[in-house]
Structures are given as C-alpha cells and as structure tokens.
Amino acid sequence: MEGRYFKYYRDSAWQALKASDYRKAFDYAMKALARDQYNLEALNTAAIAATRLGDYGKAAALYEQALVIQGETPEVYHNLGLLMARMGDHKGAIKVYREALALDQESAEVYLSLADSLGETGQVEAALAAYDEALRINPGLKDALYNKGITLNRAERFKEAEAVFRTLLKDGPDEPSWLEGRAYSLSRLGQYADALKLYRKALVATPDNAGLSYNAALMLEKLGHQEDAVMALDRALELDPAFPGAALEKANILGDMGADEEAIKIYDREAKRNPDNPLICFDRGISLARLGRFEAALDDFERVLRLEPGNVDALNNKGSVLIPLGREKEALVCFDEVLKTDKKNVMANYNRACAYASAGDAKSCANALRRAAQQSRDVLAQAKKDHDFDPVRDSPEFLSVINNSPPAP
C-alpha cells in the first residue's frame, strides 16, 4: 500500500514542481520521503521546492542528506550551489560549483551557474570565460549567451554586448529581454533612436512592463521629445507607482519644459517618501531657484550638503542662490570651497565672477571671468546675456574680457 502511495506522491511532487507550484511540490515530496526517506528524486524535488519557497535552511538540510545517501555527485553539488547563490553567498556557491565541475567537466549548466556567481562577485573576465565554456559545450544554451550580454553591459563593454544581443535576436527577433538588452547597449553607445525602436518593439510583446516604458522615456528625452517622454513616464508610473526614478525623471523633464510648479509638487511627494534623498532636495532646489524662490532653494541645497558634505554641485548652486539674496561674501565662500578640490571647475569660476559683479567689484569680476574663459570660451557668450553682470557690464574691466583684449594695467 505504501509503495503505491509513494509513487503517487513522488510523481505528483515532480509535476507540481514543473508547474511552479512549489508549496504543493514540497508537500508531496515530503509525503513521499515519509514513505522512503532515502529516495534521491524525492529529496532533490523537496530541496528545490524549499529553495523556491525561501526555506533555505530546510533546503540545505535536504541537499546534505542527499550527499550522504548518494555520495558526491555533480547534480547535488550544482543544486547546493544554486541554493547558496539564492541565499546571496556567491563566494560559497563558486566553491561548490567547482566541486561539481571536478566531477563533470562537461556540464554546460554548471558553467552557466558558475559564470553567474562570478559575475555577481565582480570577477568579470572569469565570468565571461565560464560563459564561453558553457557555450562551447552547448552552443544552443541561450541563457549563457544572454547572461554574457548582460555581464558585458554591466562592465560597460557595450559594443561587445550589442553584438551578443544581435546574435540572439537572429534566432528570436521578438524576444523582449533580448530586445531590451540590445537597446540598452545602443543607448549607452549614443544610438538613442535605434534604442527607442527596440524598446518600443519589446513593449509590443510586453505592454505592461514598467521598465520598458521608463527606458523608452529616457530615449525620448534624449531625442528632445519631452512631452512624449512625460507620457511614457506616466505609463510606467501607472503600471508601477513606485518604479525607481520614474517620478523624479518626470519632474526633471517638467522643470526643463518650464513647468517648475508641477515639478515641485512631485518633488514634495517624493521627499515625504524619501526625506534623506539628496537628489530630490537638489532637483527641487533647482526648480525653486528658477522660480525665484531663493530662500526655499537655499534650504534644499543646505540639506544636500548636510547629507553629502562637500557636494560640488550643491555648493555651486548654494552660492548661486545666495547672490540674489545679497549674500555675496557667503556665496564666494561656497565657490572657493569648490575650487579647493577642483581648481578647473568652470562654473565655480564663472559663479565667482557673478558674485563679484553683484557686489560691484568689476576688477575681481573680470579676473574670475577670465579664468573661467580660459577653461571654456563658451562662458563669454553666456556672460554677454547674463543679467548677473549688469552692475559691471559697461566697466572697462568687464569689456576687456568680453572683447578678449588684454586687461588694463
């Protein structure tokens, strides 16, 4: 009687595992083991199901039991390595995978798992070599080729990654994950229009993918299609209201479009959720400054500096909002702080010139502007129309810099 029930429970466990019903698979496998505690198929099924359910302690005990019963086998070592990787112990998993490969040097699946863990520990070259070994053994192992492409993208080797995804897409031109991988490579290579086409093609297959909508929005913004980018971000937020970065990206684009009031509302909502996020404070400060709300902007930039002391961009912008508040000396302290760590910071020198102009010091203004112009000639065109220089615009010192003539003795 028990033998008949054992077979039923063992087979039901395997069927449930294939159907991704891990709770049922585990329960059936444990019932099978209650009737035959040494059955390796039931042990492995129960261990895999326990891993998928997040019961790592139980899974480890089951794999250890399988090792005791069966001895050292590549299958058990491989499954134990997968468990350790799922638990985040990739260094331990690498050791176990190598044990599996010592027993079977021609296992493409083990090389694939080894490569994944090597990549997670930052061993890029070793990971790529392991992917290549997996593909040598099984050239049709798409997961190995795909993960190799992902690893190359993470290593910022975008041309190589793009070639990998292009190869994959020859066999599956509509596969969303492959389209997304190649699109990302192209985007980092500056080919925004081509990347956008691929993201849109992937969205046809998976229209409810918030990440694809977000990435499409980034490409639209790069291409100057701001309104379309906002619409794509709205779609991403509709699918996932908490999608990382989507709300802030929308606010930034709105600010660039001149809709700073609307952008600030978004920053305020995000700040309530993440009060210690310096990026939110910084971006809100920019919008507030554009609206002339300099005191509020100053509060944001000072908060950024409390969270990230020495932040160069925050120091530059803090100084910039101190100028219209009539606090030029404090502004100069900010710019000088930037120049202590970055002597060639163009904006710090340019902003120093603005502060001196606001204070009516034409000579110091001209000297600071000249230093900025030595680093970037573009600042002269900006200075010609910048109202910050109005107090000294007609002075000989300022004109000597603008007209690129030698300074007066």
Q: What is the CATH number of the domain that holds 368?
A: 1.25.40.10
Domain count for the chain, please give it. Answer: 1
Residue 50 falls within a domain, yes or no? no
Q: What would the two tokens of residue 397 be? A: 């010192």
List the alpha helices (DSSP H) in 189-245. 192-205, 210-222, 226-239
CB neighbour list of residue 218: distance below 8 Å, 6 or more residues apart = 187, 229, 249
Q: Helices 278-290 and 260-273: crossing angle, nearest 10°?
A: 160
Q: CB of 221 within 8 A of CB of 253?
A: yes
Residue 319 falls within a domain, yes or no? yes
Residue 199 falls within a domain, yes or no? no
Long-range contacts of 56-62 (CB under 8 A, 24+ apart): 56/83, 56/86, 56/87, 59/83
Give which of 367, 359, 351 is closest to 392, Cα–Cα.
Answer: 359
**pTM of the shown model:** 0.79
- Compute the distance between CA of residue 42 and CA of residue 33 in angstroms, rounded to an integer: 6
Distances (CA, A) of 249 to 183, 277, 278: 19, 14, 15
Distances (CA, A) of 10 to 37, 65, 79, 294: 12, 17, 19, 71
Q: What is the pLDDT along the chain (409 residues), one digit of tens a residue?
A: 456 788 888 889 889 988 999 999 999 989 988 888 888 788 888 988 988 898 888 888 887 887 777 667 888 889 888 888 988 889 999 998 999 999 999 999 999 999 999 999 999 999 999 999 999 999 999 999 999 999 999 999 999 999 999 999 999 999 999 999 999 999 999 999 999 999 999 999 999 999 999 999 999 999 999 999 999 999 999 999 999 999 999 999 999 999 999 999 999 999 999 988 999 999 999 999 999 999 999 999 999 999 999 999 999 999 999 999 999 999 999 999 999 999 889 999 999 999 999 999 999 999 999 999 999 989 999 999 999 999 999 999 999 999 874 444 4
Q: Residue 315's domain spans which residues?
A: 310-409
Residue 387 falls within a domain, yes or no? yes
